[in-house]
Amino acid sequence: MYPPAESIKQMQDDIQSRLKKIEGQIRGLQGMIAADKECEQILTQARAAQSALKAVCNLILKVYLVRCYREPGREAGAEEAFQRLGQAVDMLSKFFDR
């Protein structure tokens, strides 16, 4: 039912890898600005970095929900389950565009 710990570890490794690529994109943006590249090129690169960061946020949320809300072997009461669900909804709502 729940992903194994190895699967979560793989997702975390994927997140780290993606963050390193994003870091390279940001450094590239800095270089483009310093080299006075065309605005369209800079904006295209910035949009790619923004999209990559959004994808990383989605992966982080997935790991967060799986890891922080699963606690196998522990039966939660209705009130605790409702509270934890509310926390998850609050966290997710921060990532919706307004």
Q: pLDDT tens across 5-52, in order?
A: 678 889 899 999 999 999 999 999 999 999 999 999 999 999 999 999
Query: Which architecture does CATH list for 5-93?
Result: Up-down Bundle (1.20)
* pLDDT at residue number 35: 97
* pLDDT at residue number 2: 54
- 42 near 26, Cβ under 8 Å? no
* pLDDT at residue number 98: 53
* pLDDT at residue number 38: 97
Where in the chain are the domains?
5-93
Express each pLDDT in 62-84 by its tens digit. 887 777 666 555 556 767 777 77
* pLDDT at residue number 59: 87
What is the rounded distance in angstroms from the CA atom of residue 92 to the CA atom of residue 55?
14
The number of C-alpha atoms within 13 Å of 22 and in the hemisphere containing its C-beta is: 17
DSSP, collapsed to helix, strand or coil, labels residue 35 as: coil
Please give the backbone phi and psi of residue 29, each rounded to the nearest 5 degrees, phi first: -60, -45
Please give the backbone phi and psi of residue 5, each rounded to the nearest 5 degrees, phi first: -60, -35
Cβ partners under 8 Å of residue 60, min gap 6: 15
What is the rounded distance in angstroms from the CA atom of residue 70 to the CA atom of residue 88?
12
* pLDDT at residue number 24: 97
